[in-house]
Amino acid sequence: MIDELVRVGFSSQEARVYVALLRQPSATGYELAKVAGLQRANVYQVLATLVERDIAEQITDTPARFLAKPPAHVLGRIKQDTAQRCDSLIVDLAALARPAEPTAFWSLRGRESVLERAGALVSDARVRVAICLWADDLDWLGTPLRAAARSGCQVVVNVFGDVPVDFGEVYRHEAPAKTVGGHLLTLAVDSTTALIASLDEPAAAVYTEHPALLRVVEKLIRDEAYLAAIYERLRPELEDAFGLHLVELRSKLLPAEQASALMSVVGFGADAATVEELNPFE
């Protein structure tokens, strides 16, 4: 008990005198010195401190006798004062602390780890899921995406390829065979976490909680939805202006190798000179 009293703010001598006073109420300083095993002069100094702290009280003058305040009173006040002091320090110290820097990103290697993390992020969603994926990806992500939609989450799906999707807000894009740049998947969940994956072998991904990177991913997914909706509504006019599948516009913004691949998949079969002419980075 002496050790525990020291831990809550008593000095060792104060703890000894207080315990002695509980064991022998109305004791004199001389009597307490014998029970506590302390020098009489030290006991009177300690008693004066205990009276000042409202832990003991003097009840007679000649001889001076003392009475311990009840433990529930003494320790209850210490408990209350400590709690208030800690609450105040929490506020004060929090005002001094610099906000933690968000971790930039975590890397994933291997198809299984990428699929597991993407599925877990969707399953943990509470408010919103936005995703760009290939039709084949619905074989493993369809169930958690459907469950998220049924739980009340807003689910925005950009799907590349013709496949039935019976949940969420769906925006359809060309088949994967007509895309360039490989099998990519982008995902943003609850405006707190984003994942960017390349599912071509060797599969790899990064996911992040960094606010700036998250906003970039969310904007990318949003822009894909905008383009799909605009293309569906205005396809004839857009292809008159920019060619089949917008090939003229897209080729200008792609590296030469990907521009050549784009020409092939849309059936233009452009030669290298044409590709170089369309590519402004050369």
| Residue 280 pLDDT greater than 60, yes or no | no
Q: State residue 279's pLDDT score.
A: 34
Look at residues 206, 161, 170 and name the one whose alpha carbon lies nearest to residue 186: 206
Residue 281 has pLDDT above 50, yes or no: no
Residue 254 or 210, more confident: 210
24-34 mean pLDDT: 91
Decide the pairing of beta strands 204-208 and 65-68.
unpaired
Q: Is the pLDDT of residue 3 over 90?
A: yes
Q: What mean pLDDT do residues 218-231 have?
A: 91
pLDDT value of position 275: 38
Judged against a pLDDT cut of 80, whether residue 61 lies above it is answered with yes
pLDDT at 276: 39
DSSP letter, residue 131: E
pLDDT digits (tens, 9 = 90+) for 201-223: 999 999 998 888 899 999 999 99
Q: Which amino acid is at 156?
A: V
pLDDT at position 100 over 70: no
- Cα distance between residue 115 and residue 146, in whole Å: 16
Phi-psi region of 33 (alpha: psi -120 to 50; beta: other; left: phi over 0): alpha
pLDDT at 5 (0 to 100): 92
pLDDT above 70 covers what percent of the chain?
A: 88
Q: What is the pLDDT of residue 268?
A: 57
Q: How confident is the model at residue 112 (pLDDT cuts 50, 70, 90)?
A: very high
3-state secondary structure 159-213: EECCCCCCCCEEEEECCHHHCCCCCEEEEEECCCEEEEEECCCCCEEEEECCHHH
Statement: the pTM of the whole predicted model exceeds 0.75: no
> What is the number of H-type helices and E-type strands within the chain?
11, 10
For 76-124, give the DSSP string: HHHHHHHHHHHHHHHHHHHHHSPPPPPP--EEEESHHHHHHHHHHHHHT
- Judge whether residue 101 has pLDDT over 70: no
**158-216: pLDDT as tens digits:** 999 988 899 999 999 888 877 777 899 999 999 899 999 999 999 999 999 888 889 99
Backbone angles phi, psi at 269, to 5 degrees: 60, 40
Question: What gap in Å lies between CA 214 and CA 121, rounded to an integer?
Answer: 14
Q: Cα(182)–Cα(197) distance, rounded to whole angstroms? A: 10
Do residues 151 and 218 touch, judged by C-beta distance below 8 A? no
Q: Is the pLDDT of residue 78 over 50?
A: yes
Angstrom distances, CA of residue 24 to CA of 63, 161, 252: 15, 88, 96
Residue 231 has pLDDT above 80, yes or no: yes
CB-based burial of residue 230 (10 Å sphere; 0-12 exposed, 13-18 middle, 19+ buried)? exposed
